[in-house]
Amino acid sequence: MLAPGPAKKVTIYLNEDTQRRHESLYKSIVEFLLRHRVSGATVTRALAGFGSHHVVHTPRIEALAEHLPLRLEFIESLEKVDEILPELSDLVTDGLIEVQDTTVIKVARK
């Protein structure tokens, strides 16, 4: 359970159409995080972007519209991130994983 104090923010950058075993990679990652009882995760679809290949992806270019960038983020305890990061890293076959130190100020549950 996430609590106020030091934590890690994990951001994964990937493409919407990246697949893993006939399913979207981002869906596989969300399911992985859920199975490992991560406190929560958010996937955000970008309007435009480019990666290491320096090709701009935008919905205005029909051929590249399904190749839009995604950002998947979650904040979790240092121990939980250390526990799941090796397997998570193996899941991300095409993308970038960033980990930052952060501080949780408040966790509000209704």
* Predicted pLDDT of residue 110: 81
Q: Residue 62: pLDDT above 60?
A: no
Query: Does residue 59 belong to any structural domain of this protein?
Result: yes
Give the domain CATH number at 99.
3.30.70.120
> What is the tens place of the pLDDT at every residue in 4-59?
999 999 999 998 877 788 889 999 999 999 999 999 999 998 877 777 777 777 76
Sequence-distant (6+) residues with CB within 8 A of 19 are 25
Separation CA 86–CA 52 (nearest Å): 23
Residue-number span of the structural domain to which 59 is assigned: 5-104
- The rounded distance, in Å, linking the Cα atoms of 38 and 35 is 8
Domain total for the chain? 1
Q: Could you read off the pLDDT of 63-92 as tens digits, one per residue?
A: 545 668 899 999 999 999 999 999 999 999
Confirm whether 78 is domain-assigned.
yes
pTM (2 d.p.): 0.86
What is residue 3's predicted lDDT score, i.e. its pLDDT? 92
